[in-house]
Structure 1
Amino acid sequence: MENEITEETQKKIDQIREWVATQSHLPKDLEDRILLRFLHSCYYDIDKTKHTIELFFKIRDNSPELINHRDPLSPAMQKALKISKMAQYTISGDRNVWFWQLNDPGLEQYDYVQDARMFFMSCDAWMLANNFLAAEDIVVMDVKDITLKFITKFNLSVARKLSKYQEEAMPIRLKQIHVLNAPSFIDKLFGLMKPLLRQEVTEMIHFHPPKSETLYNFISKEDLPQDYGGSQPSLEELNKKVVDIIMEQRETYLNENFWKTEKKGKKTKEATFRSLDID
């Protein structure tokens, strides 16, 4: 079920469209449904929507290691797709769940940068294929295979860009973050990320130790995949849907200029691109 566009909402879409047209650095091929998603994520605040769109492209322009070389059929991406399972689905209350599970005991195959690149790719696929505007977004991460070896895989520069993108540039309404099967040393790993996160985001994070049922205080058991005792399809099935969409968009990912700014032309005075800081 897609959200109905009211006359007032259409006026705001048109207003953002007109603004984009005055910004010589922004791509002009953004569909109305993409602009609507940004508006929705900002609760239809025009100024905030403009800032979010600017930051969305700013981070992408400054993250070639995450936005380029994204052929889903490449050996590196195929390996990443095999050790991680992703799911994006809607549950009760018009909420959207982003599920991620790592399957790599000992972290022998895990590549932090490649995982971040895959995240950008799956999010692009979701935006391209999905028009539903959720009331809120919930992230669920199963870290059953995470060990202290993760510290050696961590990349601070990429983590900084990734956290900024997730917190302020993605057109979603992030409300909850759940970490399942959190190990006893999770505080050490969280210590790597906490300095990069805004306080309001750290307050959204909930850790759930192995065999814990505390997640059910936030998400009903029925709204989880079958592997987690729920009524949703299995994580394997949900992951296949995500991978299928990614493969359908392969030609898009091969375009290194996709959703990047124009390199020619001067920006108007209203543009705030240079003032946006991602460091």
Structure 2
Amino acid sequence: MPPQEIATNQKEDIGKIREWLTKQPHLPQNIDDVLILRFLHTCNYSLEQTKQLIDLFYTIRSQAPEIFGNRDPSDAASQEIFKIIDLVPLPKPTKDNHKLFIYRLADPDPDKYNFVDSLRTFFMIADTRMVLETEFHSGEIPIFDMEGFSLRHLTKITLPVLKKYMLYTQEAHPIRLKQIHILNIPPFLDRCLALLKPFMKSEVASMLHFHLPNSETLFDYVSRDVLPAEYGGNVGKLSEMKDEWVKKVLAKKEYFADESRWRVDESKRPAQNQNGKQLFGMQGSFRSLSID
């Protein structure tokens, strides 16, 4: 299909979603075009699936204020997370056009680690990406480096918040997840998996790839030329990329502060659409819910 025709179809689809949003008064009405387009792209431009994803995206966020509420990238908690954790989207996609994201500890001191603050900061970076990046990728590959991660870090994880995080990332985060790589796996990996397993879908579990310390097995999946210097690649230093992303997130401070962009108003939800009720008590896939 010619690029001009693709652009025309995308504008028409955005218009259809905006028309639908006017009939969903509980949802934010000031959603950026680029974000609507990301929802459409994630759902392979299925309008019905896109509607389901949008409703879940905002509903889950509204029911997880620990992660998605009171977001200020300039506050002390966020600034501390920026210091002790590297949360960095990499600039160059893989040969299959998959976007890479690296998550690792910059400071292994568990006394400085706050699980909830790290999730809140992670999603501020993710949300910044969603509106700044206008070229969408065929998939996403997060890389979690567990070097320096200890059992004391593990004890900081709170199960109710972990459950909300897992539900959101598996059901409502607008990306096409392809692989998940865990580097430098620790001796207590079984304990980590025991925490995650009750909340992890089998489809996501099948995407997990584990890599021993000092191994080069990651390169069987991801070529060196798309990795930072710290991982034997040549796309630049992770520290410099991190500094650039921190600046981008800080520039979006007012964007995050505008609660009208992020929350649902359950008092205005149409009677025929009751998907917001008891969301965290339900099991299975939510994208098949009624959303008319």
TM-score by length of 2: 0.89
| Cα shift readout 1:247-273 (whole Å, capped 9, x = no counterpart) | 10012223344321245535263x353
- With 259-268 and 152-161 compared, the bigger mean Cα shift is at 259-268
Unaligned runs of 5+ in 2: 282-292
Stretches of 4+ aligned residues off by more than 4 angstroms: none
| Cα shift readout 1:141-162 (whole Å, capped 9, x = no counterpart) | 1110111112310111111111
| Structure 1 partner of 2:216 | 213
Change (3 A) 1:132 1:268: farther
Asked if residue 34 in structure 1 is aligned to residue 41 in structure 2, the reply is no
- C-alpha contact (below 8 Å) 1:58/1:276 kept by paired residues: no
- C-alpha contact (below 8 Å) 1:84/1:101 kept by paired residues: yes
Unaligned runs of 5+ in 1: none
Alpha-carbon shift at residue 31 of structure 1 (Å): 2.1
AA aligned opposite 2:157: F
Q: Distance in 1 between matches of 2:279 and 2:265?
A: 19
- With 42-51 and 204-213 compared, the bigger mean Cα shift is at 42-51
Alpha-carbon shift at residue 13 of structure 1 (Å): 2.1
Q: State the secondary structure of the residue aligned to 1:278.
A: helix
Correspondences of 1:234-273 after superposition (within 5 Å): 234-262=237-265, 265-267=268-270, 269=272, 271-273=273-275
Asked if residue 181 in structure 1 is aligned to residue 184 in structure 2, the reply is yes
- With 168-177 and 61-70 compared, the bigger mean Cα shift is at 61-70
Change (3 A) 1:7 1:268: farther
Q: Distance in 2 between matches of 1:227 and 1:151?
A: 25
- C-alpha contact (below 8 Å) 1:22/1:268 kept by paired residues: no
Alpha-carbon shift at residue 219 of structure 1 (Å): 0.4
Q: Distance in 1 between matches of 2:144 and 2:126?
A: 15
| Structure 1 partner of 2:285 | none
Q: State the secondary structure of the residue aligned to 1:141.
A: strand
- Report sequence identity in percent: 34
- C-alpha contact (below 8 Å) 1:106/1:149 kept by paired residues: no
Asked if residue 20 in structure 1 is aligned to residue 18 in structure 2, the reply is no
Alpha-carbon shift at residue 171 of structure 1 (Å): 0.9
Asked if residue 76 in structure 1 is aligned to residue 81 in structure 2, the reply is no
Asked if residue 55 in structure 1 is aligned to residue 60 in structure 2, the reply is no
Q: Distance in 1 between matches of 2:262 and 2:37?
A: 16
Asked if residue 157 in structure 1 is aligned to residue 189 in structure 2, the reply is no
AA aligned opposite 1:13: I
| Structure 2 partner of 1:223 | 226
Matched residue count: 276
- C-alpha contact (below 8 Å) 2:266/2:276 kept by paired residues: no
Q: State the secondary structure of the residue aligned to 2:179.
A: strand
Asked if residue 129 in structure 1 is aligned to residue 127 in structure 2, the reply is no
AA aligned opposite 1:200: E
